[in-house]
Amino acid sequence: MDVYTQTLLHRVMQHLKFIYSEVEVSTPLSVIAQTVLKAMRLAPDLDAEKTAHALWSEQDVVLVTYGDSVLSEALVEGDAETVGQAEKPLVTLKKFLDDYTKDCVSTVHILPFFPYSSDDGFSVMNYSEINQSLGDWSHLTDIADTHRLMADVVINHCSIRCVWFEDFLREEGPGHNFFRIVGAEEDVSQVIRPRTNALAYEVERASGPVNVWCTFSHDQVDFDFRNPDVLIEFVRIIRFYLDRGIRVFRLDAVGFIWKKSGSTCLNLEETHEIVRLLRTVIEQAEPNAILITETNVPHQENLAYFGNANEAHCIYNFSLPPLLLNTLITGDCCVLRQWMMNMPPARLGSAYFNFIASHDGIGLRPAEGLLSDEEIEHLIRALTHRGARVSLRTLENNETRPYEINIALFDALQGTSDGPDQWGLDRFVCAHAIMVAMEGIPGIYIHSLVGTRNDYEKMEHTGRYRSINRHRWNYRDLCDQLSDESTDYAKVYSRMSHLLITRIKQPAFHPNATQCVLHLGHHLFGFLRQSLDKSQDIYCIYNITCEDQELTLADINLVSTMHWKDVISGLILTDQCACWILKPYQAVWITNFTPSS
């Protein structure tokens, strides 16, 4: 068959030639390519060319949650007589989604729901099973019937208790050569890591002791992608997930998957090529599937995962959380504004994934080159006063540096550099009003939707800083709190849900709609969004201080022949040259509209 009739096979072959150009593999690349396509159930003669198209709209909002972030009372109480008959957490989660998010959330990202041994799911023991304590695949399918489902592909490492690693120790079975050994001759002096434990961990194999590569912890052992069987296995896993209704794939810690002696072993070219290969086969198998890379690295390195619109469909906008927190804590938007001015628009078919809170901490590496060391230290000090803990990472020279700040976002925003104040709720909502209006797809952490506070008890129980922001709610208690309008939880939920419901009605908030930064001084942050068909403009303006700020409407040049209103408050602007006093942390979305007759 000629190249034209083997287009997809030819494309996969090109990916493989690049990936394994410096690696000796025993199997011919043509056979590996055919095996990859077979694993994804694709014919080799398909046309590999795809026309870029948007897989999202302004109506897309992602809710990020663990499968057990909300629990039935029986599970919370731990009554031995009732736990066995208790409602599974995935069933409870479905109730929460139906009761509290049906009007404002399109996609739910359920963090790793597999059997695991540590790291709240990211140390996977079995990639094809649901953790029995959460439920089963039917419960995931039920959620996928009403929401687009996003799941993690924990691609860099697995649990040391995974059956593949047991094969590795026995030196027989499918996983006997799946893991990376740190050889005595290997130069690992330049390796960049997000943890401080030793990279090499000694284990006993059938033939004797070896050191295995552990980027994250000694319970999480890294795969060896120099072995094509590892790549093929992950293609099979993704196909398995597609068959169960998963349509958005988050490649966890993907930047670390390729190792090369003497290098940083982070974001290597082979890693990018593996992402390109996965993009090729995934979009052929399911044109509406989305690939998201999770790369907690400096901004320019992160942008590289867009490739030439041929790698990730979406990348995490990791620089946003530290920059936005810095803005609201200092009351100065200059750094955030400059960063946004330099943020290239995503090409059609690509999008930013915006977030300001997640199951992890507030990453500091993405602030490198954007915030000075002094500004980062200032941010750390301010948040430490509100209960934050700071996780460290190891540099190339074995020195340590702050890696992330661990804190619940609601607590983080209960004050400024000057200390706590009465504007915490408004500041918290303002942060989200900025994030959900920006170019990109917004991701809302479940604990931000309801304003969950620092969970010190869980952090002390697990001994891990990240647990401070991984609270598990008794669902009945949560419902009680949300039904009592006097609680902070109810106030947060009311204002957040209003913000999201308002957002999804605005064509100018399409993830790829035009974005232009406004210059309104240090204390007012603003940008313009324009819908793809140019029918709607929205001026998004925010007072990012704890004092009243004056907005002169003439400064934003509203077209005098149009009618304008703030869609958040519903206020119609009758004098387009007036001065508007914005209250502390007030957000306004000023849009053109046609009055009803």
* Positions marked catalytic: 252
In this structure, which long-range contacts are made by residues 524-533, counting pairs with CB atoms below 8 Å and at least 24 apart in sequence? 524/333, 524/549, 524/551, 524/582, 525/327, 525/333, 525/336, 525/337, 525/434, 526/556, 527/340, 527/437, 527/438, 528/556, 529/437, 529/439, 531/506, 531/507, 532/507, 533/507
**DSSP summary character for residue 237:** H
Question: Is the sign of the CA dihedral 385, 387, 388, 389 positive or negative?
Answer: positive
User: Could you tell me if 438 and 424 are in contact, meaning their C-beta atoms sit under 8 angstroms apart?
Assistant: no
| DSSP-based three-state secondary structure for 64 | strand
Separation of alpha carbons 245 and 523, rounded Å:
45
How far apart CA 122 and CA 374 sit, in angstroms, is 33
Q: At what angle do helices 424-437 and 488-503 cross, to 10 degrees?
A: 20
Nearest partner of 438 among 526, 522, 369, judged by Cα: 526
Q: Are 574 and 563 in contact (CB under 8 A)?
A: no
* CA 429/CA 328 separation, integer angstroms: 11
Q: Which of 393, 384, 382 is nearest to 454 (CA)?
A: 384
Q: Which residues of 237-257 are buried (b: 16+ CB within 10 A; e: fewer)?
A: bbbebbeebbbbbbbbbbbbb
User: 536 is written with which tokens?
Assistant: 């709607």
Pairing of strands 62-65, 107-110: parallel
Query: At 563, is the secondary structure helix, strand, or coil?
Result: strand
State the Cα angle at 129 between 124 and 130, rounded to 5°. 90
Assigned token pair, 548: 């009243």
What does the alpha-carbon distance between residue 246 and residue 148 come to, in Å, rounded to a whole number?
7
Contact 529, 584 (CB under 8 A): no
Question: Residue 13 CB: number of other CB atoms within 10 A?
Answer: 19
